[in-house]
C-alpha cells in the first residue's frame, strides 16, 4: 500500500488530503508543519504532497531529494526562483508541480489551449477568478495556469502579454493580450472562467470548485501516479495523458 506524507498537514488542504488518502484506500504516512521533522516523514513515506508555503519550498525539496522520494507540489504563489529549484530537484526525483490539482481544471486548461490556438489573436481572452476572503495571492495559481494554457495555444509569452489590475484611463486593449481579474469574498473554494470574446460573439469556458476535496482527490491521484515515474518534472496533463 502506497504511503502518502503530507507537508502542510494542519491547513485546510492538509486536512482534506488526509480524508482523500483514506477515501482512496492508501496509507497516511503522517504530516508535518513548520518546525516538524520533515526528514523523518520523507523516510517513512513513499511519496510526499506539499501544500505548505513558497518560503518552505527549498527545504522541502532538499528533504525529498535526500530521501529519494517523489513529491507533488500544489503550493501556489511560486516565483521564478522557485521554478528553478523545482527544475534542479527534478534531476534527482520525480516532481509534479501544478497550480491546481483538480482533474476538471486540468481538462479545462486543455480546452483553453485548443480554443486559443484555433481562434487566434482576433479573439480577446479574459480570465476571471474568485476565491474565499482568506486567499493571499492573486491572480490564483489556477488563473495563471489557464493563462499559460492560452499563451501556449498562441505560442506567446504570458509574462509579456498579460494585463492585470486595470484602473483609470488605461487606453484601448492591446491585441493578443490575456487579461486577469481577481475577486475575493466569502468562502468560495474556487471559480474560474476564461472568456474568449470575438466580434459579435463570445465563448466562456468555466469551472466551479464546490469543495476542497476535488483538489485533494486530484493530488492523491497524482501522487499515486508519480510513484511509478522516473526523475523528471511533470504536470497534471502528463498524469492524464493530455
Contact by Cβ (8 Å): 180, 134: no
Catalytic residue among 131, 192, 207, 221: 131
pLDDT at 12 (0 to 100): 87
CA-CA distance, 74 to 218, in Å (whole number)? 10
Tell me 220's DSSP state.
H
Place of cell 506524507: 5
Identify which of 73, 65, 66 has the alpha carbon closest to the alpha carbon of residue 8: 73
* 10 in active site: no
- Report whether pLDDT(99) > 90: no
Average pLDDT for the chain: 95
Which contacts (CB < 8 Å, 24+ apart) does range 169-175 have? 173/124, 175/121, 175/122
Query: Mean pLDDT throughout 50-56?
Result: 94
Contact by Cβ (8 Å): 216, 17: yes
* 135 in active site: yes
Here the cell at position 230 is 522516473
- With a CB cutoff of 8 Å and minimum separation 6, the contacts of 176 are 121, 154, 156, 161
Identify which of 228, 241, 233 has the alpha carbon closest to the alpha carbon of residue 95: 233
- Report whether pLDDT(31) > 90: yes
Query: Mean pLDDT throughout 169-191?
Result: 94
Gyration radius from the chain CA atoms: 18
pLDDT at 60 (0 to 100): 97
Neighbours of 242 (CB within 10 A): 12
pLDDT single digits (tens) 223-237: 999 999 999 999 999
pLDDT single digits (tens) 124-179: 999 999 999 999 889 998 899 999 999 999 999 999 999 998 889 989 999 899 99
pLDDT at 77 (0 to 100): 86
Catalytic residue among 55, 82, 132, 135: 135
Amino acid at each position: 500500500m502506497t504511503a502518502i506524507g503530507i507537508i502542510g498537514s494542519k491547513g485546510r488542504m492538509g486536512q482534506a488530503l488526509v480524508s482523500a488518502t483514506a477515501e482512496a484506500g492508501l496509507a497516511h504516512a503522517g504530516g508535518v508543519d513548520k518546525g516538524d521533522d520533515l526528514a523523518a516523514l520523507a523516510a517513512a513515506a513513499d511519496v510526499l504532497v506539499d501544500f505548505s508555503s513558497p518560503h518552505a519550498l527549498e527545504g522541502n525539496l532538499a528533504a525529498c531529494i535526500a530521501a529519494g522520494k517523489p513529491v507533488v507540489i500544489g503550493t501556489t504563489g511560486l516565483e521564478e526562483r522557485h521554478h528553478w529549484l523545482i527544475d534542479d530537484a527534478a534531476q534527482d526525483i520525480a516532481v509534479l508541480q501544478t497550480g491546481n490539482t483538480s482533474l476538471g481544471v486540468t481538462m479545462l486548461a486543455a480546452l483553453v489551449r485548443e480554443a486559443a490556438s484555433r481562434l487566434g489573436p482576433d479573439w480577446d481572452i479574459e480570465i476571471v477568478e474568485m476565491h474565499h476572503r482568506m486567499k493571499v495571492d492573486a491572480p490564483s495559481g489556477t488563473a495563471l495556469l489557464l493563462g499559460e494554457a492560452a499563451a501556449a495555444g498562441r505560442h506567446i509569452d504570458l509574462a509579456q502579454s498579460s494585463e492585470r489590475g486595470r484602473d483609470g484611463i488605461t487606453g484601448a486593449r492591446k491585441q493578443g493580450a490575456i487579461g486577469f481579474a481577481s475577486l475575493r469574498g466569502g468562502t468560495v473554494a474556487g471559480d474560474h472562467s476564461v472568456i474568449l470574446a470575438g466580434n459579435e460573439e463570445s465563448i466562456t469556458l468555466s469551472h466551479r470548485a464546490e469543495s476542497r476535496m476535488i483538489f485533494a482527490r486530484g493530488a492523491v491521484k497524482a501522487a499515486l501516479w508519480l510513484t511509478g515515474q522516473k526523475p523528471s518534472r511533470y504536470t497534471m496533463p502528463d498524469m492524464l495523458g493530455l
